[in-house]
Amino acid sequence: MEPTEPRKSAASASSGRRLRIAVAGASGLIGTALTRALADDGHEVVRLVRRAPRTKDEVRWDPEEGYVDTAGLAGCDALVNLAGAGVGDHRWTDAYKQEIRDSRVLGTATLAAAAAALDEPPRVFLSASAIGYYGDTGQRAVDESAPPGEGFLPSLCVEWEGAAAAAQDAGIRTVFARNGLVVAREGGAWGRLFPLFKAGLGGRLGNGRQYWSFISLHDEVAALRHLLDRDDLSGPFNLTAPDPLTNREVTAAMGRVLHRPTFFTAPEPALRIVLGEMAGDVLGSQRVLPTRLLESGFSFAFPGIEETIRAALRR
């Protein structure tokens, strides 16, 4: 039988220790799934919120003001940063690009500084990043050893990861999860694709030759827990399935699994008119490999696209 929920990591399962883990961005797609999995395994989850706390498991923070109620972080074994404005939520105006940047860079810097200032810092600071770090790689496969690309997203990711310097300088094990496209019905890019394909309106974007580096929500959460538990792991890790596919191949797989035609296409000129600068990200190719994750011993439950799509439909 295929797994339906992220499995326990070897470390947490074997030790049986109840951990206290603070999570920023706990209400997002990945944050919701991660906090549920942690709570189900008996760990204490502290949610960082930008309003007045309503429950005892919430802690106030304000990334724009550089504020965290550090008393609420006392005793935390780990601090997880998944906060950030949605890259695809709005057209990329100058103002929204600034919001995307600030929500990530200021938030990461605020949390890293708070962790470093604690009398007993967490043993690990796990901060989200993105495979946008590599820019458009065309047909070339890249892993964590590749340099950053050029453009808005690569420069953002470099600054985003650099904002964790306070935690690193304090000797806190710091990990960057460079997330790929998470396949889920609940949100993200696939949350928008599923309704279109179910209605028979799905199709390739542009010429369809651009690579999409995807990961199931199950494996995303399992990988984050793997990175949290392994004290010997630090630095960047690509969270993507081991076999990235082209948009054309993904489109065909969606059609097969959902038993729907995929005749429609979104021509490149139309996408650039509708999406503006963000079209470059949609049409760009990112063939990203999870080399370090695999070398660390992580095993994907859903390595292929069809099984990943089916897993998302079962949730």
Per the structure, the count of domains in the chain is 1
The tens digit of pLDDT for each residue in 25-76 reads 999 999 999 999 999 999 999 999 999 999 999 999 999 999 999 999 999 9
At residue 276 the predicted structure's pLDDT band, cuts being 50, 70 and 90, is: low
In a domain, 57, yes or no: yes
CB contact at 8 A, 1 and 220: no
Q: Between β-strands 44-49 and 20-24, what pairing exists: parallel, antiparallel or unpaired?
A: parallel
pLDDT score for 217: 97
Q: List alpha helices for 148-187, DSSP H.
A: 152-162, 165-169
In 3-state terms, the chain is what percent helix, strand and coil (to 5)?
Answer: 40, 20, 40
The phi, psi pair for 261, rounded to 5°, reads -70, 155
In a domain, 264, yes or no: no
pLDDT score for 10: 35
In a domain, 229, yes or no: yes
The tens digit of pLDDT for each residue in 198-238 reads 989 888 888 899 999 999 999 999 999 999 999 999 999 99
In a domain, 122, yes or no: yes
pTM across the whole model: 0.91
State how far the Cα of 236 lies from the Cα of 157, in Å rounded to an integer: 11
Half-sphere CA count of 53, side-chain side, radius 13 A = 13
In a domain, 82, yes or no: yes
pLDDT score for 11: 41
In a domain, 12, yes or no: no
In a domain, 197, yes or no: no
CB contact at 8 A, 161 and 132: no
E-strand ranges in 31-123 read: 44-49, 58-62, 67-68, 78-81
In a domain, 91, yes or no: yes
Strand partners, 264: 203
Q: Which CATH number covers residue 52?
A: 3.40.50.720
Burial of residue 119 (number of CB atoms within 10 Å: 0-12, 13-18, 19+): exposed
Tokens found for residue 49:
């919120």
Which of residues 93 and 282 earns the better pLDDT score?
Answer: 93
Cα three-residue angle 242-197-96, rounded to 5 degrees: 75
State how far the Cα of 240 lies from the Cα of 253, in Å rounded to an integer: 17
CA dist list (Å): 179 to 43, 100, 184: 24, 16, 14
Which of residues 86 and 153 earns the better pLDDT score?
Answer: 153
Count the Cβ atoms, other than its own, within 10 Å of residue 264. Answer: 13
Q: Which amino acid is at 205?
A: L
CB contact at 8 A, 283 and 210: yes
Among 314, 88, 38, 37, residue whose Cα is nearest residue 184: 314
User: Range of 64's domain?
Assistant: 18-188+215-241+288-301
Count the Cβ atoms, other than its own, within 10 Å of residue 90. Answer: 14
